[in-house]
């Protein structure tokens, strides 16, 4: 009897240890008053003190980081994984296709859509089940439908990550259950989200508060787990997440006026903290930043600089000293970028370039930098290139110069 009880105890301890690994995304008893959390967290415009282990605010128009905390550290991401899952499905399947739920899909634990073996459901409805109620069973069903298996689907996810330049992200499942080889960073998750939101179908799904799907011909209404959607001004998506390894996670897209941002918080201790952190970061961003037309600013500055430095360059052994410069055509930021409102009145530019060069100077050769700053805060910098080519003098050129100058020299010597 003692041996039996001992074995039973061992099994019980083992189950306690592995059970936490089977839950992902919002299976938590904690409930919060969202309106109260938003009201309290939106008051301050100061630099926020956040509980989340890593977070980032990304401006969608410029891809600039407006706030970051450990934003490039590799961390677990829970069901925010499903952002990538949805994109792989959207780019590799037909939404109106009806699929049959496998035993493996139906048996997936954690947050669930509630699928059973043999159920019939469309890819479209599975996507709503994936993104609104974060169904792990829907994730597996989609993975099997698109790629045949979870490993094959993970290969597609990693190939997409490589295509998008997400060098610190790796996927091992479509649902995000804890795994040592399954990780991302707050920054790369924001980049992925920015990519995903450009897909109209994805944008529509993650911005839906409630939706009715059909399983085996019977309707089922789903509610979005995103607590900020419909409650915070400007929020239009995108995904929640929770596992014991990742803690509470939330990716939020928010637009007010012309400014469009993505806020990612990962590793919050509680659902309350993830809500507060997200609201703090969003409110801080909109209170702190506004767009500044940097393209017009640098072009005007360069034009003025040229006018005030007409004979600036000296080209050793060059056929000419009239070297024209331009800003690199590889303009990798938009015309306007977000800058702190406090810095905008003092924005200034500075050209760093030597006046001395040795011929030949090729067209588009890099010559220097145009640096934009404010109150010693770096804002941006641009490569300055040669807008013309200046070749080196040849023997013939020297002879021509000599004979052109000779009569004048002779005239001065005679008179």
CA neighbor of 192 nearest in space, from 97, 85, 331: 85
pLDDT per residue as tens digits for the range 76-105:
999 999 999 999 999 999 999 999 999 999
Residues 363, 248 within the same domain: no
Q: What is the pLDDT of residue 359?
A: 86
Whole-angstrom CA distances from 34 to 128, 154, 251 are 23, 35, 16
Task: Assign residue 391 the CATH number of its domain.
Answer: 2.60.410.10
d(CA 50, CA 68): 11
Of 42, 54, 62, 79, which is the active-site residue? 79
Residue 150 pLDDT level (bands cut at 50, 70, 90): very high
The reply to whether 76 falls in a domain is yes
pLDDT at 297: 96
Residue 23 covered by a domain: no
Q: Is residue 137 located within the same domain as residue 66?
A: yes
Considering the candidates 105, 134, 154, 278, report the single residue annotated as catalytic.
134
The CA angle 358-352-293, to the nearest 5 degrees, is 130
Q: Which of 6-10, 107-111, 272-276 has the lowest mean pLDDT?
A: 6-10
The tokens of 378 are what?
């770096």
**Quick one: 252 and 108 in the same domain?**
yes
**Mean pLDDT, residues 190-194 taken together:** 98
33 domain residue, yes or no: no
Catalytic residue selected from 82, 276, 280, 326: 82
State residue 149's pLDDT score.
Answer: 97
| Structural domain boundaries enclosing 213 | 54-268
User: Does residue 341 lie in a domain region?
Assistant: yes
Q: Are 263 and 275 contacting, i.e. CB atoms less than 8 angstroms apart?
A: no
Query: Do 60 and 137 have their domain in common?
Result: yes
Contacts with 145 (C-beta within 8 Å, 6 or more apart), sequence order: 89, 93, 97, 99, 123, 126
pLDDT score for 321? 83
What are the residues whose beta carbons fall under 8 Å from the beta carbon of 176, sequence distance 6 or more? 24, 25, 76, 77, 78, 79, 80, 81, 82, 182, 241, 243, 246
Residues 297 and 264 in one domain: no
Given 268, 300, 321, the domain boundary residue is 268
Residue 261 lies in a domain: yes
Note whether 91 and 193 are same-domain residues.
Answer: yes
Q: Does residue 211 sit in the same domain as residue 262?
A: yes
Distance CA 73, CA 67 (A): 14
Question: 380 and 248, same structural domain?
Answer: no
Per the annotation, the verdict on 134 as an active-site residue is: yes
Whole-number pLDDT of residue 392: 80
Beta strands in 272-365 (DSSP E): 289-293, 314-316, 325-327, 336-340, 347-353, 356-358
Dist. CA 109–CA 19, nearest whole Å: 10
Do 383 and 263 share a structural domain? Answer: no
CA gap 332, 380 in Å, rounded: 11
Per the document, the length of the chain is: 415
CATH number assigned to the domain comprising residue 151: 3.40.710.10
Instruction: Give this prediction's pTM.
Output: 0.85
* Pairing state between β 235-243 and 98-100: unpaired
Q: Is 79 a catalytic residue?
A: yes
In 60-142, where do the E strands start and end? 65-69, 98-100, 120-122
Do 177 and 309 have their domain in common?
Answer: no
Is 282 within a domain? Answer: no
Among 158-172, 221-235, 306-320, the least confident range: 306-320
Whether 221 and 306 share a structural domain: no
Element (H, E) at 373: strand 366-374
Residue 391 has pLDDT above 60, yes or no: yes
In a domain, 82, yes or no: yes
Kindly state whether residue 328 falls inside one of the protein's structural domains. Answer: yes
Whole-Å CA distances, 246 to 21, 46, 163, 243, 389: 11, 27, 25, 5, 56
Quote the number of domains for the chain. Answer: 2
Average confidence (pLDDT) over 371-385: 94
Q: What is the mean pLDDT of residues 334-345?
A: 94
Exposed, middle or buried, 74 (CB in 10 Å: 0-12/13-18/19+)? Answer: middle
User: Cα torsion at 276, 280, 282, 285 (round to 10°)?
Assistant: -170
**Same-domain status, 374 and 231:** no
CA angle, residues 191, 192, 198, in degrees to nearest 5: 95
pLDDT tens track for 37-81? 666 666 655 789 999 999 999 999 999 999 999 999 999 999 999
Confidence band of 415 (pLDDT split at 50, 70, 90): very low
Q: Which helix (H) or strand (E) holds 126?
A: helix 123-131
Each residue's pLDDT tens digit, 218-273: 999 999 999 999 999 999 999 999 999 999 999 999 999 999 999 999 999 999 99
């Amino acid at each position: 009897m003692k041996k039996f009880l001992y074995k039973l105890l061992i099994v019980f301890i083992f189950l306690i240890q592995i059970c936490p690994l089977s839950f992902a995304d919002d299976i938590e008893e904690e409930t919060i008053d969202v309106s109260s959390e938003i009201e309290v967290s939106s008051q301050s415009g100061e630099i926020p003190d956040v509980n989340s282990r890593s977070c980032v605010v990304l401006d969608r128009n410029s891809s600039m980081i407006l706030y970051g905390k450990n934003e490039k550290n590799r961390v677990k991401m829970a069901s925010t994984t499903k952002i990538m899952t949805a994109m792989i499905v959207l780019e590799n399947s037909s939404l109106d296709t009806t699929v049959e739920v496998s035993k493996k899909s139906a048996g997936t634990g954690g947050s669930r859509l509630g699928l059973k073996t043999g159920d019939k459901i469309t890819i479209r409805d599975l996507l709503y089940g994936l993104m609104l109620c974060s169904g792990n069973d829907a994730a597996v069903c989609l993975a099997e439908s698109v790629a045949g298996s979870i490993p094959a689907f993970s290969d597609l996810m990693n190939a997409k990550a490589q295509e998008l330049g997400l060098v610190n992200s790796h996927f091992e499942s479509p649902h995000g259950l804890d795994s040592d080889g399954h990780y991302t960073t707050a920054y790369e998750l924001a980049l992925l989200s920015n990519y995903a939101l450009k897909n109209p179908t994805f944008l529509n799904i993650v911005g839906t508060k409630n939706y009715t799907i059909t399983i085996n011909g019977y309707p089922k209404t789903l509610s979005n787990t995103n607590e900020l959607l419909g409650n915070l001004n400007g929020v239009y998506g995108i995904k929640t997440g929770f596992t014991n390894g990742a803690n509470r996670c939330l990716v939020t897209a928010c637009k007010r006026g012309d400014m469009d941002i993505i806020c990612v918080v990962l590793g919050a201790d509680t659902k309350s903290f993830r809500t507060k952190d997200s609201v703090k970061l969003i409110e801080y961003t909109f209170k702190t930043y506004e767009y500044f037309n940097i393209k017009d600013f640098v072009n005007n500055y360069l034009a003025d600089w040229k006018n005030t430095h007409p004979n600036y360059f000296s080209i050793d052994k060059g056929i000419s000293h009239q070297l024209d410069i331009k800003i690199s055509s590889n303009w990798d930021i938009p015309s306007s970028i977000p800058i702190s409102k406090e810095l905008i009145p003092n924005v200034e530019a500075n050209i760093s370039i030597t006046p001395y060069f040795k011929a030949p100077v090729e067209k588009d050769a890099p010559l220097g930098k145009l640096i934009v700053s404010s109150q010693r805060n770096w804002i941006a910098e641009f490569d300055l290139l040669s807008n013309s080519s200046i070749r080196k003098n040849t023997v013939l050129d020297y002879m021509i110069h000599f004979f052109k100058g000779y009569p004048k020299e002779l005239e001065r010597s005679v008179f």
